[in-house]
Amino acid sequence: MSFLPVPFTILLDKLPALVQLELTRLLQVQPGYQVVGSASSADELVILARRFRPSLVILDEHSLPDLDRLHRQHACAVLLYATATPSSGVMCETARWGIYDHIAPLQLGAEQIFRRAVLQQLRAIPVAPQITTFISPLRHVVSAQPQSLTVIGSSTGGTAAVEKLVQALDPGLTTTLLIAVHLPAYFTASFAKRLQRLTPLPVKIGVAGMPLEAGQIIIAPGGQNMVLKSVQRGPWRVWQIGFSSKPNLSADAPSIDMLMRSAAKAAGSRVLGIVLTGLGSDGTLGAQAIRARGGRIIAQSQESAAVFSMPGSVIRAGHANAVLPLDQIVEIINQRTSLPASTTRLSPPLATVN
């Protein structure tokens, strides 16, 4: 074991090339400051922040939409690099995420002025009182990437069921929830807002290319068929949101079958599929795909479902590992361990589905 002085560590966002060069040169020769990394994207910034736990992040203005995500992974001081002076409203709004000030743009020929201004801003940021740190031989770093997925599908009566379920979720949830409810597109935003008022977990509407994060709730937008994709990003494979233009068997969009089948293909046995109240049979083929790849399926019980058609179809097809009321379904999601030993009904093993 050893004890070392704690430097003021700084993580750089993807900044304009000249700005990045000037900041790196400046901080390399300043005692007490250490640049621990430079990100090439918003996703990499979140990963590096979680890994290095910097004292400060110098954030580019284009990364402001990702500030919430950054703050949830590692709350630290932030300096914002902006090409124009941000409005007072923007600064007031972002101050709650730790933004102390903004760095004025670098002008050619005014490098010395830029450096002095940056140093003045750095020295105004409070430094943590610790002067030493213990260095252990091994440190486990938790990734923002979820280790499991929970895919929920519903139709008629589904908004009320999902609201009741979300309200009871554990704030420390580590799975990611993907929710598809048969709703018109113009209802998606208001539905997401209602859910957000019920939980501290972040609720977002799915957007193409959106990476999945642990403890996140993603709502499939109405009128579109949201799917899950597994993509290569550097040395890692990550899960992200996509959309399919392929026709689905039912006329409903978002298609629960398509979302569940894509999740099964991307994440295999790490998927828990849940079919709640609704008309029709959407979700039955998706449940079959999840079971075939080692995942688990829960169908809502007839007693607790407003309309039993959708969960009933899954049960009759033999794809449900368990049939449970809403309050017990929530317990399973919060635990994300094994299903209870005693359930209403267990389905037989299934053959592999192509």
SS3 of the chain: helix, strand, coil, percent, to 5: 35, 25, 40
**Active site residue: 155, 244, 255, 262, which one?**
155
Banded pLDDT at 339 (limits 50, 70, 90): very low
Amino acid at 57: V
**Active site residue: 282, 301, 313, 347, which one?**
282
CATH superfamily entry for domain 2-135:
Response regulator (3.40.50.2300)
> 2-135 and 149-335: same fold?
yes
**Active site residue: 71, 102, 182, 319, which one?**
182
pLDDT in tens, 96-107: 556 767 788 888
In this structure, the strands spanning 132-135 and 2-5 are antiparallel
| Structural Rg of the chain based on CA atoms | 24
- Say how far apart CA 266 and CA 269 lie, in whole Å: 10
| CATH 3.40.50.180 is right for the domain spanning 149-335 | yes
The domain limits of the chain are: 2-135, 149-335
pLDDT score recorded for residue 107: 82
The predicted model scores a pTM of 0.57
pLDDT in tens, 144-201: 578 899 999 999 889 999 999 999 999 888 899 999 999 888 889 889 999 999 999 9
pLDDT average, residue stretch 130-142: 33
| Contact in structure between 271 and 290 (CB atoms under 8 Å) | yes
Instruction: Look up 182 and say whether it is catalytic.
Output: yes
Instruction: Look up 60 and say whether it is catalytic.
Output: no
Instruction: Look up 155 and say whether it is catalytic.
Output: yes
DSSP 8-state class, residue 294: T
